[in-house]
Amino acid sequence: MSKESVVLGGRVITVGSGGDDDRWQGVLVSGDRIVRLITRAEAQDLGPDVDIVDLGDQTLMPGFVDVHAHAEVVCRTAYKTVDCRAPECGTIPDVLDSLSSYQSTLAPGEWLVGQANLFFDRKLKEGRLPTRAELDTISTNRPIILRAGGHISVLNSKALEMAGIGRNFETPAHSVTGRPEVIRDSSGEPTGVIKEMDSLLPLPNPDAEELREAIEQGLQNYFTTYGVTTIGEISETIVGLECMNDLAEMGRLPASIRTYLWSPGTLESLDKVKNWKDHIRLTAPERDIRIQGLKLFSDGGFSAKSAAVNCCYVGHPGSSGSIAFDQYFLRRAFLMTQEAGLQLAVHANGDRAQDWLCKMVIKLGGAKAGRTRMRIEHAGNFLPNATSADLWSQAGIIPVPQPVFIYTFGEYFPDYLGEYGLRGRFPFRTLLDRGWRLSGSSDVWIGSEREATNPFFSIWCCMKRQAYSGNFIDPDEAITFDEALRMHTIDAAATMGEEDEKGSLTPGKIADIIAIDGDPRRMPVDDIRSLRPGFVMARGRVMLSPPDM
Ligand SMILES: [Zn+2]
């Protein structure tokens, strides 16, 4: 029999259906499972064989589930990369300084990679991105790339040369993130700004051992620190997945990983995804890591004006983004995933892409309920027409919004879409009132804000609805702490078909438990934003504990 232990605090928020949270102060755990909830008095009567982790007055809660993250990308991004994010870098000279000072750590000719946050042009004092010429002032011998988020980047002259992007460069029709574009000046010369092309560049790569280190540290720093115990991971590379598998085998995987195989990014064809076992070595228990589904991109992002919307982009009459594949491809993907027991998750930022997907799925008989029910990533972030949500119900899809985007770019919709962009931004109150079960997720990627992977920050976004600038976005769409907590625990677990295993402190479920100082139900909303768990248990193992324990 596994050894039992008790995690004791001042109170428990179970997020379970019992409704009797007030009775308990602790959780009894055996191996990787929750046995039952207990009172402090009961805990004193347990025999000496039971370990007691006494966290005083802290509040115990279930570990968070982040249903949509690009964990490997973030771990890689942090590796040998200069952090150029605003507000710490507030001006173009700040950016150039940060890049310059990192040069001494690199070998001659090695790529200098700067990572900025999304909508970086809006966040810099100058209101624009640095130019190719400005990057050239750092070096003309070394390739330099400044990634303003993951859709748009600026290259210096050497980087353009190394990537083969010159006057006669023929832009490829597709990349894994969307339709590539090279911005040119009036004479046809590339300006250095490129869109949706990062995946086509010869950027440096860590070897397998460096990557395993980068992933272990990155998962701890970006997820465990904030109490995330399960990650819905959009896969990046096979070697990255295998690194996670190896960490799991060594008992060192910080969070359990549910992977959506990104095609064509990770596996180039649907056939390969179907037969993923022939291509990916996964040996660790499913509890730790498993292949959950298939991830496709049907459109791009708002920042690159490539999300497929039902209106025109401001200043670009006739341009409304495009849908990256056709109905025949979607049909194949839909049927293949059903047959293979995989969950289809399709990225669709724009309302036109979402409507199109739903109509196609309705034609195919609708998404099947259960663990593999189809998801539409980013549905719920921008809902200009209420009828789109009717299509969601008819298609039977799960909308997967990202509350942190309220802060990151909620305010910029009208800049890209005019009047149309003022309609239906993150209408969580409306959707919950209509009976939708929503999840929260970070979609952390290249260029995310520092707080992006902190679910308490995401909960704060749901409650406060404040944008980066400080302005509020449709405050009547705010939801309560308990509603927001469900989005990041039990309802997130449900999005991945795991509500019977995770997302609440319920007997028999996996022991994913976190503890925080104070009672979040009684704190001012702004204090919730900066909460950090002092204790994290994942699958019955203590991943983070107070320094004096
Ligand atoms: Zn994503």
**pLDDT of the residue at 447:** 78
Q: How far is the CA of 36 from the centre of ligand 1 (A)?
A: 36
Tokens coding 48: 């000496």
Average pLDDT over residues 41-67: 95
In a domain, 13, yes or no: yes
147 within some domain: yes
Task: Give the distance (Å) from ligand 1 centre to CA of residue 273.
Answer: 18
**Residues 226 and 294 occupy one common structural domain:** yes
Distance 545 CA to ligand 1 centre (A): 30
Give percent of the chain with pLDDT exceeding 90.
Answer: 85
d(CA 441, CA 351): 19
pLDDT tens for each residue of 60-107: 999 999 999 999 999 988 888 898 999 889 999 999 999 999 998 899
Cα 97 to ligand 1 centroid, rounded to whole Å: 30
Using the mean position of ligand 1's atoms as its centre, give its distance from the Cα of residue 21 in Å: 35
366, 414 in Cβ contact below 8 A? no
Q: Are residues 339 and 215 in the same domain?
A: yes
Residue 53 domain flag? yes
CA distance 281 to 221: 26
Q: Which two tokens stand for residue 245?
A: 């598998």
CATH code of the domain covering residue 36: 2.30.40.10
Say yes or no: 150 and 32 in one domain: no
pLDDT of residue 173: 86
The span from the CA of 56 to the CA of 68, in Å, is 33
The candidate with the shortest Cα–Cα distance to 401, out of 468, 479, 339, is 479
CATH number, domain with residue 422: 3.20.20.140
Read off the pLDDT of residues 136-168 as tens digits, 9 standing for 90 and up.
Answer: 999 999 999 999 977 899 999 999 999 999 999
For the chain, what is the domain count?
Answer: 3
> In terms of domains, do 245 and 184 share one?
no
Q: Does 439 lie in the same domain as 401?
A: yes
Structure tokens at 541: 């193992």
Checking if the pLDDT of 546 tops 60, the result is: yes
234 Cα: distance to centroid of ligand 1 (angstroms): 7
Q: What is the mean pLDDT of residues 18-36?
A: 92
Q: If you measure from the C-alpha of residue 19 to the centroid of ligand 1, how many angstroms do you get, rounded to a whole number?
A: 34
C-alpha–C-alpha distance, residues 139 and 491, integer Å: 49
- In tens, the pLDDT along 164-183 reads 999 999 998 888 777 899 99
Q: Which of 108, 151, 152, 112 has its CA nearest to residue 135?
A: 112
Q: How far away, in angstroms, is 53 Cα from ligand 1 center?
A: 37
The answer to whether residues 456 and 531 touch, using CB atoms and an 8 Å cutoff, is yes
CA dihedral 16, 22, 25, 29 (to 10 degrees): -20
Domain boundary among 200, 233, 251: 200
- Preceding omega of 264 cis (within 30 degrees of 0): yes
Distance (angstroms) between ligand 1 centre and the Cα of 445 equals 7
Q: What are phi and psi of 336, to 5 degrees?
A: -60, -45
Q: What is the mean pLDDT of the chain?
A: 94
pTM assigned to the model:
0.88
pLDDT of residue 502: 98
Question: Is residue 106 included in any domain, yes or no?
Answer: yes
Identify the CA nearest to 479 among candidates 422, 533, 440, 530: 440
pLDDT of residue 129: 95
Question: For 305-322, how does the pLDDT look when each residue is reduced to its tens digit (9 = 90+)?
Answer: 899 999 999 999 889 999
Instruction: Examine the domain organization and report whether 162 and 91 are in the same domain.
Output: yes
- Give me the residues paired with residue 160 across strands: none
Query: Does a structural domain hold residue 70?
Result: no
Domain match, 97 and 161 both: yes
Distance 222 CA to ligand 1 centre (A): 16
How close is the Cα of 217 to the center of ligand 1, in Å? 21
In angstroms, what is the span from residue 388 Cα to ligand 1's centroid? 21
- Ligand 1 centroid–CA 340 distance in Å is 23
Which tokens sit at 440? 């929260």
Q: Which domain holds residue 228?
A: 207-500
Residues 187 and 242 in one domain: no
Of 480, 500, 520, at which residue does a domain stop?
A: 500
Same domain? For 282 and 391 the reply is yes
Boundary residue ending a domain (465, 481, 500): 500
Expressed in angstroms and rounded, the spacing between residue 380 Cα and the centre of ligand 1 is 14
Under a CB-based contact definition with an 8 Å cutoff, are residues 150 and 445 in contact? yes
Ligand 1 centre distance from Cα of residue 443 (Å): 5
pLDDT tens digits, residue range 213-252?
A: 999 999 999 999 999 999 999 999 999 999 999 999 999 9
How much distance in Å is there from the Cα of 15 to the middle of ligand 1?
Answer: 27
Cα of 160 from ligand 1 centre, angstroms: 27
Shared domain for 213 and 350, answered yes or no, is: yes
Any residues with CB less than 8 A from the CB of 336 and at least 6 apart, and which?
Answer: 270, 273, 274, 294, 342
Residue 73 forms part of a structural domain: no
SS3 82: strand
| Residue 72, domain member (yes or no) | no
Ligand 1 center to residue 263 CA distance, Å?
13
142 and 256 belong to one structural domain? no
Tell me, yes or no, whether 339 and 383 share the same domain.
yes
Calculate how far, in angstroms, residue 33's C-alpha sits from the geometric centre of ligand 1.
31
What pLDDT was estimated at residue 10?
A: 96
Give me ligand 1 centre to Cα 174, in Å.
17
Rounded distance from Cα 147 to ligand 1 centre (Å): 16
